Structure 1
Amino acid sequence: MPYILVLFASRHGSTETLAHNIAEGIESIEGISALVRTVAPIGTSFNPEISDIPEQGSLYCSVEEFANASGLALGSPGRFGNMAAELKFFLEQTSTQWLSGKMIGKPATVFTSTTTVHGGQESTLLSMMNPLFHHGMTLMSVPYTEPRLHAQSGGGTPYGVSHVAGPHHNAIDSETAMLAKQQGKRLAQLALRIMND
């Protein structure tokens, strides 16, 4: 069965929760599945002596899983308005797939979580889009026709679902969770449409 890769970096769990919400939305569409993966810390990535099984949580992603995906949902906490270094490092290992055009035309979307309201959510989302444009992927947004986008006061954005965790790493509210599920659902529908075209 074709799958959409839900790839994320997460330090305190908010981005990981969004990843699982997006995966749930993907799984609600028949004919495609979600593959949830994280990235290894810098210093352990692509070391053949290091296991690809972390002590807990999601498995580390391989470049092969990235290349064979029918779509991609990419998530990161905001780091000075940019994606996390370990996620950027992973993407920098995909030049072979870039050169071969392996990802061209495949749909992708992005999501984030920050500690503060002004933590650079939109610039973080845009930073994740840059390498996906270089891969020739088809970027998908969260349109304003989605009613929950209008109701958000702690996140949202048309660039991708987002969450303001606050200094105490607050749980994701039900509206944001539903927005993430809807984003995953739309991504799955687009992936199937592109595959069947």
Structure 2
Amino acid sequence: MTKVYVVFFSKKGRLFPLAKAIVEGAKQVEGVDVELFRIADHGEEDASTFDPEIFKTPIIEPSKLAEADGVILGSPARQGHISSQVTAFLDGVAKNGDLAGRVGSAFTTTGGKGRGYGGHESIFTSFHATFLQLGMIVAGIPPSEVMDKAALASPYGCVERCGDESSGDSSDAGLDEDELKLAHDQGRHVSEIAKRIYNAKSN
């Protein structure tokens, strides 16, 4: 069966509900097993610094990523860069996992309030460059009416506006209708591509 892993790093904030919405979309494709994982923090983790539900999410090791046919990775923006935790994880993936031919996709949160702010495009550029270096097939979000009207819509991947995640400021709770639609579209799109590749290899 085709496997899609949604993997993120977050302690508090908007990235977690976005990850869960992407999982929902990925599960809409029949014959695809979808799992949600988080990336571990540096050193020994302090549960008091995490949202309790996030802390309960299973941690994934870099080597396990090679089991998936599609991978959707999420990182909060850190001064226009992928978080150090995700960077360290990707370094481990490069050393321990063969991801050539897998589908790679990304999502992020940003403090910006409109297109082009908050560093989200540089986040996607970093993710996509890593995917290509690993021999992966890059996927984003397919065109739709929502893409033309949602404030932070990007064909590169889902972007969610948030406050300062490090301080626990998650801004508004929950995703709006457009954000949810884009998250579902991204998850479903990756599942569909991963399933086609898996079936082609199996035949």
List aligned pairs for 1:98-137, cutoff 5 A: 102-117=98-113, 118-137=117-136
List aligned pairs for 1:20-31, cutoff 5 A: 20-31=20-31
Cα deviations by residue, 1:40-85 (Å, 9 ceiling, x for unpaired):
111249xxxxxxxx98331111223211111100111111111111
Residue aligning to 2:149 = 151
**C-alpha spacing 1:44/1:69, structure 2 compared with 1 (3 Å):** farther
Residue aligning to 1:40 = 40
Contact 2:10 2:54 in 1 (8 A): no
Distance in 2, Cα, partners of 1:158 & 1:184? 13
List aligned pairs for 1:64-79, cutoff 5 A: 64-79=63-78
Higher helix share: 2
Contact 1:97 1:103 in 2 (8 A): no
Residue aligning to 2:197 = 194
One-letter amino acid of the counterpart of residue 105, structure 2: T
State the identity %: 28
TM-score (norm 2): 0.84
**C-alpha spacing 1:116/1:12, structure 2 compared with 1 (3 Å):** farther
> Unaligned 5+ residue runs, structure 2?
46-52
Give the Å deviation of 1:96. 3.4
**C-alpha spacing 1:114/1:55, structure 2 compared with 1 (3 Å):** closer
Give the Å deviation of 1:87. 0.7
**C-alpha spacing 1:80/1:61, structure 2 compared with 1 (3 Å):** same
Residue aligning to 2:172 = 170
Cα deviations by residue, 1:100-131 (Å, 9 ceiling, x for unpaired):
xx211111111111122321111112112222
TM-score (norm 1): 0.86
> Unaligned 5+ residue runs, structure 1?
46-53
The number of residues matched between the two structures is 184
Give the Å deviation of 1:166. 3.9
Cα deviations by residue, 1:150-192 (Å, 9 ceiling, x for unpaired):
1111x22111111112465223212101110111001100001
Distance in 2, Cα, partners of 1:139 & 1:13? 26
Contact 1:109 1:160 in 2 (8 A): yes
Distance in 1, Cα, partners of 2:124 & 2:106? 6
Partner SS, residue 94 of structure 1: helix
One-letter amino acid of the counterpart of residue 24, structure 1: E
Distance in 2, Cα, partners of 1:152 & 1:22? 17
